[in-house]
């Protein structure tokens, strides 16, 4: 009985520490983001500090070096997107774990003057979530054609 109680307690702790995201429509996610891009991930480096001017402190960040294959949204103050994207390294902080060599549809905000930052919440997904079963970050090969067309036409 003690083992069952301990397992139940650990399960509750794990759920309470999990990343929780608010459901958003495709348009809401797109419009709330500062940037949206089809990226190819070149490299991932751990224990990174965000550039000066960013709100998040410490070395608990991952830095992804990316190639922007197709940019769907850029903030007004940038003409091109930087090739580095930062995310928290901790799952409870909703950090992204993506793989070098793969392509993704990513969205996020700009921290400081020009540092790209992204988290699990707010990624652009189709309104029909069944089309991407259980994915919160879309690998580009799994982005439905309809979503590709939709994000090119969204007006915020």
State pLDDT tens for residues 78-129. Answer: 999 999 999 988 888 899 999 999 999 999 999 887 889 999 999 999 988 7
pTM for this predicted structure: 0.82
Q: Which of 156 and 18 is assigned the larger pLDDT?
A: 156
Rounded average pLDDT over 21-48: 93
* pLDDT given at position 142: 92
- 134 Rama class: left (phi>0) / alpha (psi -120 to 50) / beta: left
Percentage of the chain beyond pLDDT 70 is 78
Q: Are 41 and 104 in contact (CB under 8 A)?
A: yes
Domain boundaries, the chain: 19-153
pLDDT band at 2 (very low <50, low <70, confident <90, very high): very low
DSSP helix, strand, coil percent of the chain (3-state; round to 5) = 25, 30, 45
At 138 the three-state DSSP class reads strand
* pLDDT given at position 145: 94
Phi–psi pair at 102, nearest 5 degrees: -105, 160
* pLDDT given at position 104: 97
Q: Is 121 annotated as a binding residue?
A: no
Rg, C-alpha atoms of the chain: 17
* pLDDT given at position 54: 60
Residue 63 makes CB contacts below 8 A (sequence gap 6+) with: 44, 45, 48, 84, 85, 86
* pLDDT given at position 5: 39
Handedness of CA 65, 114, 86, 141 (dihedral sign): negative
- CATH number 3.90.209.20 given to 19-153: no
């Amino acid at each position: 009985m003690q083992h069952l109680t301990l397992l139940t307690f650990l399960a509750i702790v794990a759920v309470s520490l999990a990343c929780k995201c608010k459901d958003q429509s495709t348009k809401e996610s797109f419009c709330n983001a500062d940037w949206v891009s089809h990226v190819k991930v070149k490299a991932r480096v751990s224990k990174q500090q965000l550039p000066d001017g960013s709100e998040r402190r410490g070395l608990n960040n991952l830095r992804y070096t990316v190639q922007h294959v197709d940019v769907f949204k850029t903030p007004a103050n940038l003409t091109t997107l930087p090739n580095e994207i930062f995310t928290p390294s901790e799952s409870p902080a909703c950090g992204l774990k993506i793989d070098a060599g793969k392509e993704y549809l990513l969205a996020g905000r700009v921290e400081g003057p020009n540092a790209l930052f992204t988290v699990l919440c707010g990624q652009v997904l189709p309104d029909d979530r069944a089309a991407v079963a259980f994915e919160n970050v879309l690998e580009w090969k799994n982005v439905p054609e309809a979503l590709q067309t939709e994000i090119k036409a969204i007006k915020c």
